[in-house]
């Protein structure tokens, strides 16, 4: 068994170092006892025909070692060999990088390098790292009993924050009077999306913008109900900037320009069934869902109401505004967020790819090609028609749809499960339509690739790291993880 988070192609968080100054070199000379003039004496460098002093190779090695030891404990590094390919002049700004290029028998080979701001590579190295889980590792090195269990390494966040995007403004006529109450002359800003973002150090080019499903909010992508890391942390660790969105009229984006009546109607069991955890009160056999009353308590508390009517136009308008702020990015959607994603991509060319988990509504077909509604125990399920030109935008980006397990092939009277039979059937037709028009869409049922037992929330299920690996493969295949 290997450490959950290591995969081929994985990049270590780059280590961007401050520029090397004369002071750095003088300090290092003092520290190491290496007082060679070539590092600290510009006259001596001139005498050697060099323009200026150069950095200690040991300093560079120490930097590269630091990249590795920031990632795994030193004792996991089984071998290490380095080659100095160029000298590092004073004032250089080195960046250390590493990439897993092979995994064999629990040993990962990591390709390492240091490059400078002008692109010169100055050191190349290769390390072999033991990525077996603690038990196996202890077995291999019996003396290491006191070694702390490998824990999740810290996250190195370059910047993080939050902002509202898009939205509209209601204006009440009249003149505002600061001595009286009432709406006269006042405004209300609402219908925006709200995003919390984190950018890791050395982030990849395309951020991931995560959009939740019905009844949910950004929590979908955070800590799982049993306290494991969700896609937010998993993909931060894989070097992606993450934007977690609350869509208009939900969660942190609660301010709506339309009224709403909120009624606390008990429906936890309905969601348990609809999210395919089981058939209440039973869990499906082999379901990848953690057990326990505490877990279920957290799971049910992930729900949050609409604070205004769900309006696909309002939501996708705000999402398009958000993408225009973020720039080129990949949209990762769940369930109702799937429909939001298709309509966002039709409005903003900044959507450069879509990964959609269990989309189940608002599949857009070119007008004239809309399939008939499909009957299910949850009622008829219809697709929507859009102008052909809008639809064609969806043929210009790579798209993948993932579905979990326990989706019945034949009709069943159980409402929660049966609706997914027709949603999946419609999804297949939609993927065919996109590809028929020259697009690049694919649909993966996770059991078909060996991942069994997933619910409607594969990204927070017990096997969510394996689920993330499937997403990583797609991003790599489509060049979206540069």
Query: Within 290-309, which residues bind a copy of itself (CB under 8 A)?
Result: 297-298, 300-305, 307-308
Q: Is residue 310 near a copy of itself by the rule CB under 8 A? A: no
Q: Is residue 163 near a copy of itself by the rule CB under 8 A? A: yes
Per-residue DSSP letter, 332: E
Q: Is residue 18 near a copy of itself by the rule CB under 8 A? A: yes
Could you write out the three-class secondary structure of 50-69? CCCCECCHHHHHHHHHHHHH
Q: Is residue 218 near a copy of itself by the rule CB under 8 A? A: yes
- The rounded distance, in Å, linking the Cα atoms of 123 and 120 is 9
Q: Is residue 336 near a copy of itself by the rule CB under 8 A? A: no
Q: Which residues, 235 to 274, sit near a copy of itself by CB under 8 A?
A: 246, 250-270, 273
Considering only 49, 148, 368, 438, the residue that binds a copy of itself (CB under 8 A) is 148
Per-residue DSSP letter, 17: P
Place of tokens 């009622």: 379
Considering only 51, 139, 149, 176, the residue that binds a copy of itself (CB under 8 A) is 176
CB of 431 to a copy of itself, least distance (A): 29
- The rounded distance, in Å, linking the Cα atoms of 343 and 355 is 14
Q: Is residue 129 near a copy of itself by the rule CB under 8 A? A: no
Q: Which is nearer to a copy of itself, 353 or 360 (CB)?
A: 360
Q: Which is nearer to a copy of itself, 33 or 368 (CB)?
A: 33
Q: Which residues, 80 to 109, sit near a copy of itself by CB under 8 A?
A: 80, 82, 91, 93
- The rounded distance, in Å, linking the Cα atoms of 12 and 132 is 17
Place of tokens 């702390």: 148
- The rounded distance, in Å, linking the Cα atoms of 367 and 388 is 6
| φ/ψ (deg, to 5) at 452 | -105, 150
Q: End-to-end alpha-carbon separation of the chain, Å? A: 28
CB of 20 to a copy of itself, least distance (A): 7
- The rounded distance, in Å, linking the Cα atoms of 353 and 112 is 29
Q: Is residue 220 near a copy of itself by the rule CB under 8 A? A: no
Q: Which is nearer to a copy of itself, 253 or 394 (CB)?
A: 253
Q: Supply 402's token pair.
A: 């993932």
Q: Nearest Cα to 472, choosing from 355, 349, 351, 333?
A: 355
Q: Which is nearer to a copy of itself, 16 or 392 (CB)?
A: 16
Q: Is residue 19 near a copy of itself by the rule CB under 8 A? A: yes
- The rounded distance, in Å, linking the Cα atoms of 13 and 34 is 30
Considering only 4, 6, 24, 97, the residue that binds a copy of itself (CB under 8 A) is 24
CB of 315 to a copy of itself, least distance (A): 15
**Coil, strand, or helix at residue 365?**
strand
Q: Supply 238's token pair.
A: 């894989």
Q: Is residue 223 near a copy of itself by the rule CB under 8 A? A: yes
Is the dihedral angle over the CA atoms 255, 257, 263, 266 positive or is it negative? Answer: negative
Give me Rg for the CA atoms of the chain.
Answer: 27
Contact stretch for a copy of itself (CB under 8 A) within 31-39, 132-140, 367-375, 441-449: 31-39
CB of 204 to a copy of itself, least distance (A): 16
Q: Supply 174's token pair.
A: 């009249």
Q: Is residue 167 near a copy of itself by the rule CB under 8 A? A: yes
CB of 302 to a copy of itself, least distance (A): 8
- The rounded distance, in Å, linking the Cα atoms of 117 and 228 is 38
Q: Supply 302's token pair.
A: 């992930």
Q: Is residue 145 near a copy of itself by the rule CB under 8 A? A: no
x/- contact string, 343-382, with a copy of itself (CB under 8 A)? ----------------------------------x-----
The distance of Cα 439 from the centroid of its chain, to the nearest Å, equals 24
Q: Is residue 113 near a copy of itself by the rule CB under 8 A? A: no
Contact stretch for a copy of itself (CB under 8 A) within 102-110, 155-163, 284-292, 319-327: 155-163
Q: Which is nearer to a copy of itself, 57 or 106 (CB)?
A: 57
Q: Which is nearer to a copy of itself, 27 or 477 (CB)?
A: 27
Q: Is residue 411 near a copy of itself by the rule CB under 8 A? A: no
Per-residue DSSP letter, 136: H
């Amino acid at each position: 068994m290997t450490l959950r988070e290591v995969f081929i192609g994985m990049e270590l968080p780059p280590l961007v170092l401050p520029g090397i100054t004369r002071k750095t070199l003088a300090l290092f000379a003092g520290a190491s006892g290496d007082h060679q003039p070539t590092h600290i004496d510009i006259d001596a460098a001139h005498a050697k025909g060099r323009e200026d002093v150069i950095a200690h190779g040991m300093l560079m090695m120490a930097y590269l070692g630091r990249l590795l030891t920031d990632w795994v404990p030193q004792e996991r590094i089984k071998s290490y060999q380095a080659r100095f390919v160029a000298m590092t002049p004073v004032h250089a700004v080195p960046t250390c990088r590493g990439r897993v290029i092979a995994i064999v028998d629990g040993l990962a080979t990591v390709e390492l390098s240091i490059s400078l701001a002008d692109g010169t590579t100055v050191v190349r190295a290769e390390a072999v790292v033991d990525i077996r889980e603690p038990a196996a590792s202890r077995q291999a090195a019996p003396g290491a009993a006191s070694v702390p269990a490998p824990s999740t390494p810290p996250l190195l966040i370059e910047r993080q924050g939050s902002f509202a995007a898009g939205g509209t403004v209601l204006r009440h006529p009249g003149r505002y009077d600061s001595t009286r109450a009432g709406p006269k002359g006042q405004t209300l800003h609402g219908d925006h999306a709200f995003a919390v973002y984190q950018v890791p150090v050395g982030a990849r080019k395309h951020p991931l913008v995560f959009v939740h499903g019905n009844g949910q909010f950004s929590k979908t992508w955070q800590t799982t109900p049993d306290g494991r890391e969700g896609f937010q942390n998993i993909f931060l660790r894989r070097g992606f900037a993450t934007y977690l969105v609350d869509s208009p009229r939900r969660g942190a984006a609660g301010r709506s320009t339309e009224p709403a009546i909120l009624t606390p109607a008990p429906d936890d069991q309905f969601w348990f069934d609809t999210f395919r955890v089981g058939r209440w009160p039973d869990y499906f056999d082999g379901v990848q869902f953690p057990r326990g009353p505490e877990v279920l308590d957290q799971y049910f508390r992930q729900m949050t109401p609409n604070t205004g009517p769900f309006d696909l136009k309002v939501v996708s308008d705000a999402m398009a505004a958000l993408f225009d702020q973020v720039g080129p990015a990949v949209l990762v959607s769940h369930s109702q967020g799937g429909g939001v994603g298709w309509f966002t991509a039709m409005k903003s060319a900044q959507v450069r790819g879509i990964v959609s988990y269990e989309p189940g509504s608002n599949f857009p077909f070119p007008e004239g090609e809309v399939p008939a509604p499909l009957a299910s125990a949850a009622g008829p399920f219809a697709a929507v028609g859009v102008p052909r030109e809008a639809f064609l935008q969806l043929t210009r980006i790579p798209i993948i749809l993932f579905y979990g397990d326990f989706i019945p092939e034949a009709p069943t009277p159980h409402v929660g499960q049966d609706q997914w039979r027709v949603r999946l059937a419609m999804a297949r037709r939609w993927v065919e339509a996109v590809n028929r028009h020259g697009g690049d869409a694919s649909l993966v049922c996770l059991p078909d690739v060996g991942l069994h037992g997933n619910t409607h929330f594969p990204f927070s299920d017990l096997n969510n790291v394996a689920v993330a690996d499937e997403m990583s493969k797609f991003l790599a295949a489509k060049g979206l993880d540069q």
